[in-house]
Structure formats: C-alpha cells, structure tokens
Amino acid sequence: MIVLEILYFLIGTACAFLLGNIVMLPIPVWSLIFLIPLFLLFLVLPSFPGSLSRIHSAKLKNTKCGTALLKIFLASMVLDLVFNIPAMFGALEEHGIPAIGDAGWKWTGSILLIVLIENLIFWNGIIRIYLTSSQLGAKYRIIGIACGMIPIVNLIALSILIRICDKEVKVENEKILLNESRAAERICETKYPILMVHGVFFRDFRFFNYWGRIPEQLEKNGARVFYGNQQSAASVEISGRELAERIKKVCEETGSEKVNIIAHSKGGLDCRMAIAKYGAGPYVASLTTINTPHRGCEFADYLLSRIGESHQVRVAGMYEAALRKAGDPNPNFLAAVTDLTSSAAVRLNEEMPDPEGIYCQSFGSKLNRPGSGRFPLNFSTLLVGHFDGPNDGLVGAKSFCWGQDYHFWTAPGKRGISHGDVIDLNRENIDGFDVRETFVQIVSDLKKKGL
C-alpha cells in the first residue's frame, strides 16, 4: 500500500507541475487530453482505492485524501519554484524556454495557470482536513490560517498540519481495526454495569461530555455505561449522599445487584463517602479512582489561606452563578474546594475507612515537566509542584495511592499525563498513552475478576 501511495504522490506531483507549466514547457498541446482528466481524477479521488480500502471510516478517508493533496501541493510548488525562478532569468534559454523579458505574455499565462492549479489542489486538501480532522483542534486551525500569507512560514505550518493529520489517520484506523478484531470477545462486558463519576466543577451530562471518547470505546467493547449525575460543586458529604441515591437507582434500572464505579478526581472522594456514610456499600462491587486527591492538595490549603474571605466569597459567587445555569440546584464552591485541602483530607479519611468486601484500586499520573500538557494545567504544574511535588497539574502524585492496587501512569518524553488527559478531556492522542485503550483494559480486568 505504501508503494501505491508513493506512486500516486509522484504521478500527482508530475501532473500538477506539467499542467501549470504547459505554456513554457515543450509539450504538445494534445497532451492536455490526458493531463486534464488525470488531474481532475486526482482531485476527486486523491489516493489509490487499494490504499483507501484499508481505512474503515469515511471521515478518516477524507482526512487522508486531504493530506495526500497537500503533499502534492507542497511538492509541486517546490518544483514550480525550482523550474521558474532560473527560467525567468534566462538560465533555460538553450532548452527553448525564453526569459521573462523575451516572452512576457507566455510568463503571464504560465503564472496564472500555476496559481489556478495550485489553488485547486491546496483548497481541496485544506478544506478536507479542516472539516474532518479531530486532532487539529482550534489551535492548529488558527495557526494554519494565521500563517497562510507568510512566505516560508506557511509551508512549515502546512507541514505540521499534514503530520498531525497523518498520525490521526494511522491511530484512529488502528483503533477501528482493533475493535473489529475483538468485537466477539466483548472484553468490557462486566457482570455489573459501569458507573462513571465526574470530578469537581464539571458535569457528566448536559452540554459537555466529561469523559471524552472513553465511554464510546467501552461500549463498543461490551460495557454498559452510566454516569454519576451529581452536582459539579458541593461538599464531599453532599455529593456522597447524591451518589448513594444514584447508585441505588442504577441498580434498580438495570436489575443488577451492584455497580463498578470509575471515579475521577474529587469524584473518588464522593464515592468513598457514599459507601462509608450513606449505605451504598452493598451496591458497589468495585471502586476505581483516577487521579483522586485521597490525601488532599497542599496547594489548595495555601490558596485558601492567602486569599481573603471577601475575595473567596466573590469568586465563589461567580462560579456558583455559572453552575446554576449549567443545572446545579445548590452549588457550594467553597465547600467543594475546602474538602480538597490536605487538612480536610485528614478528617475525611477518618470518616471514610477503606470498605470491606469491595475491590478498590487507584490510578495516578504526572506531567513530566512544568509547561508540558495543555493550558491551564501546564501553567499550574510549577505552582502545585512547589507544595505537592510531582503532580498532574492539580494534584500531587503522593496523594493518588489508595486501595488494594495502585498504578502510576507515565508517558515518555517531555509531555507527561495531566489531570485532564486521564479523562480524555481534550480528545488528544498522546504519544505513549492511549487513554481510551487504558480504560478498556481497566474494565477488561474487572471482567476477568468476575465483577
């Protein structure tokens, strides 16, 4: 298939170059009978069918087609420059190609043709990737537009867009093929349904998918997925009470005796409270916490101690007004933040002893260096690190460990894995950390344990 792609690229580049320079090159006019249909075919189907047949998504096929056209655009542009700049100054007169001063009308026609041909290729390709790529995001789309009129820089920016889209096609297609190959196994079809519980200041229903592409991936592999639906900002005790009711309701709806809980951040504390104080224990088969601050955040203690009460109330009022619009009936910003401090964690851990008869495990991660990852966690890493040591942008690594099993995630290089990366918040494909497959394996392990 790589041979076919290379062949397509070479033929397409040659075709674009010949059509753009047909006026200047010693090529018979009748050759247009072959060149024009071939060029149009490359625009409509910019990849060999044999290559596209291995891509199992119409969206990915369009992304691949777009990158193929943009590669041809870059290559043919380079050929145009290499050929035309010397030719304009008479370097190719001995081959019958006049300098610009000797045949200005020919050069005008040739330049217009080049502009037409290259624009057809470029806009066909760029529109395809802008409409179909998920990994470009707003950032790289804006970079592409901002750099579009800056010579040389625009070519560098375009190369970056092509690289991102090529990687996306490869990763996403492999994901599709993997799921197809194991579809019959239903490796995530656990005995008990999965209840996914969000963290603080977010919701897992209405307006925003907190867990990114993870639930869809779990369901494709047989899981039954439900959500916590608790308020986005409340004390651990209030959230725990809400979750206890939710857990029992899911059991009633599904006819299942218990649920397997996967909880992120403060959601892990909320679930522990639901089990310890509000009678949810008999309905819980397992509790998996993801980047949960079981020992609190010393940085949160520092912030609350440094910010005056009047400022705390003002900030809380702004957040709570927004949270009410999002659907929270009674948000309490300060209570939620206070319960994340290390001092509050001491009290909470006394109130929430490790439950018996429930399989408990925890996961954690860290960003590898300050400034890595996505904003704003790349910015907060250094601040949190001053108080909590290595961290994920919000929570120190020393706070994650809890339960019978603990697993620490890391990724090679400078990037690392942030508090948002572990729930696929940005829908980003990170080198060395496949978040969707990671969760598939977590649930698959629960199935192997009979849960």
Q: What is the pLDDT of residues 267-284, one digit of tens each?
A: 999 999 999 999 999 999
Domain boundaries, the chain: 2-180, 187-448
Domain 187-448 class, CATH top level: alpha beta
> For residue 28, what are its two tokens?
């018979």
| pLDDT of 438 | 96
Q: What is the pLDDT of residues 153-206, one digit of tens each?
A: 888 999 999 999 999 999 999 999 999 999 999 999 999 999 999 998 877 765
The pLDDT-based confidence of 401 (bands split at 50, 70, 90) is: very high
Mean pLDDT of 395-419: 92
Between 72 and 9, the higher pLDDT residue: 72
The pLDDT-based confidence of 20 (bands split at 50, 70, 90) is: confident
Long-range contacts at 162-167 (CB < 8 A, ≥ 24 apart): 162/67, 162/70, 162/71, 162/74, 164/133, 164/135, 164/136, 164/140, 165/63, 165/64, 165/66, 165/67, 165/129, 165/133, 165/135, 165/136, 166/64, 166/67, 167/135, 167/429
> For residue 200, what are its two tokens?
């603080």
| pLDDT of 408 | 94
**Strands 284-290 and 259-264, how do they pair?**
parallel
Out of 132-141, 284-293, 311-320, 378-387, give the one with best mean pLDDT. 284-293
Burial class of residue 181 in the structure, from the number of CB atoms within 10 Å of its CB (0-12 exposed, 13-18 middle, 19+ buried)? exposed
Q: What is the pLDDT of residues 45-89, one digit of tens each?
A: 665 555 566 777 888 988 998 998 999 999 998 888 888 777 766
**Segments of 198-316 assigned E as strands:** 225-227, 259-264, 284-290
Please state, in angstroms and rounded to a whole number, the distance separating the CA atoms of residues 379 and 375: 6
> Which residues are registered as beta bridge partners of 341?
297
Q: Above 80 in pLDDT, residue 366?
A: yes
Between 93 and 377, the higher pLDDT residue: 377
| pLDDT of 386 | 83
Mean pLDDT of 409-433: 90
Residues 6+ apart with CB under 8 A from 204: 196, 197, 198, 210, 211, 227, 228, 229
Q: Which among 367, 375, 364, 362 has a CA at the least distance from the CA of 411?
A: 367
pTM of the model: 0.86
- Round the average pLDDT of the chain to a whole number and report it: 86
The pLDDT-based confidence of 104 (bands split at 50, 70, 90) is: low
| pLDDT of 369 | 83
CB atoms under 10 Å from CB of 140, counted, come to 18
Q: Distance between the two ends of the chain, CA-based, in angstroms? A: 43
Out of 139-148, 185-194, 429-438, least confident range: 139-148
The pLDDT-based confidence of 1 (bands split at 50, 70, 90) is: low
